[in-house]
A = this chain, B = another copy of it.
Amino acid sequence: MIAIGVDIGGTSIKGAFINEQGTILNRFSMKVDKDAAPEGEVAKLCDLIVHDRDELKTNEEIKGIGIGIPGILDMDEGIIVSSPNLPTWDGFNIKAFMEKKLKYKVLINNDANVAALGEAKFGSGKNYKDLIMITLGTGVGGGVIINGKLFDGNKHQGAELGHMVIRMDGKPCGCGRRGCFEAYASASALIRDTKAMMKKHPISMLTEIEKELVGIDGRNAFLAAKRGDKYGQKLVDNYVKYLSEGLINYCNIFRPEAIILSGGIANEKEYLIDKVVEYLEKHTYGMKGSPKVKILNGQLGYDSGKIGAASLVLFE
């Protein structure tokens, strides 16, 4: 059996034919014109899928198409309610459109959920049944797997793990509240804090590193800390605390076997993951001898979206 996994982004659509072992058999990708009507773009996607299917020359049954989409979705109906990166797509029923055109079953889900499912089934979570994936990027995305299945709440509107307030009245969040986990633990939050630190201490190693990296992203603070800069270290210490406090909340709420962290920042092993593990051992609530939560790195990288989208179909 084969499923097609599609990962829709703001500038391109990537996809793959994936078998039951999670192996990618064939990849495809296309650019998206974000100002064009969705019908035209998705028609191109359908043509690409047909072309690649014919090229693949497989006798195995193709069970359907899974799609990961950022934004607010009506998953049951298959409608993109609102996607900030593809504003012309708002209200588009991608499921109905593709099912009519291709005669394959189409399932859609949130990009963060889909990535979590991919890691759970074929990535670093494959030995666990209860896990959480947290993606540290522009925002903080979350996916929850309970007993091997994606959990996303009533009408698929839950698992918004970035929008848990950890500091009431704290930093403003894009969702309208103040003090969300996302406002502290996203890469954007770290960049905001790095800029604030540089403004406060204009002549520092952080300024040199900015020139070196030609800009500021999630790496600057870590690089400065590694070179012994006290301001860089302070930024990293704070970030470890913010991230850990949110993760401990999720340990107490879900008590998962493992938490998978993904996004560029999650690659900082000694300066982040090891420190988070240390923090969690000190502060997690629970029974004496309570199961420890494994903190893992995502294994699939950018393929988690495609493999996870296919998993929607493979493990339906």
8 A Cβ contacts from A140-197 to B: 146, 151-155, 157-161, 163-170, 175-177, 179
A204 within 8 A of B: no
Question: Of B72, B248, B255, which one neighbours A177 at CB under 8 angstroms?
Answer: B248
For the complex, give the distance between the alpha carbons of A155 and B128 in Å: 13
Is A82 at the interface (CB under 8 A from chain B)? Answer: yes
Smallest beta-carbon distance A206→chain B, Å:
24
B130 with A154: CB separation less than 8 A: yes
Asked if A285 is an interface residue, CB under 8 A from chain B, the answer is yes
User: Which A residues, 256 to 290, have Cβ-Cβ distances below 8 Å to chain B?
Assistant: 256-257, 283, 285-288, 290
Which residues 223-279 of A have a CB within 8 angstroms of B? 241-242, 245, 248-249, 252-257
CB–CB A155/B81 < 8 A = no
**How many identical chains are in the complex?**
2
Cα distance A176–B130 in the bound complex, in angstroms: 25
Please report which residues of chain A, range 19-72, place their CB below 8 angstroms from some CB of chain B when the two chains form the complex.
72
Contact B167 A167 (CB under 8 A): yes
Contacts of A255 in B (CB 8 A): 152-155, 157-160
Interface assignment of A291: CB less than 8 Å from any CB of chain B: yes
Q: Are A175 and B72 in contact (CB under 8 A)?
A: no
A74 adjacent to chain B (CB < 8 Å): yes
Closest to A173 in B: B285
Instruction: Find the B residue at minimum CB distance from A156.
Output: B255
- With contacts A164-B164, A164-B249, A165-B245 known, is A254 near B158, CB below 8 A? yes
Asked whether, in the complex, the Cβ of A130 is within 8 Å of the Cβ of B146, the reply is no
Q: How far is the CA of A258 from the CA of B154 in the complex (A)?
A: 10
Q: How many residues of A contact B (CB 8 A)?
A: 47
Checking B163, B166, B286 against A160 with a beta-carbon cut-off of 8 angstroms, the contacting residue is B286
Query: What's the least CB distance linking A94 to chain B, in Å?
Result: 16
- B residues within 8 A CB of A288? 72, 81-82
A286 touching B165, Cβ below 8 Å: no
Residues of chain B within 8 A (CB-CB) of A130 are 153-154
Closest 5 CB pairs of A and B: A153-B255, A158-B255, A160-B252, A72-B287, A157-B255
**13 A-B pairs, CB-CB below 8 angstroms?**
A82-B288, A130-B154, A154-B256, A157-B255, A158-B256, A166-B168, A167-B167, A168-B170, A168-B245, A176-B283, A176-B285, A177-B248, A253-B253
Please determine whether B253 and A157 come into contact, CB atoms closer than 8 angstroms. Answer: no
* A253 and B158 in contact, given A81-B288, A167-B167, A168-B166 (Cβ under 8 angstroms): yes
Roughly how many angstroms separate A283 CA and B164 CA in the complex, as a whole number? 12
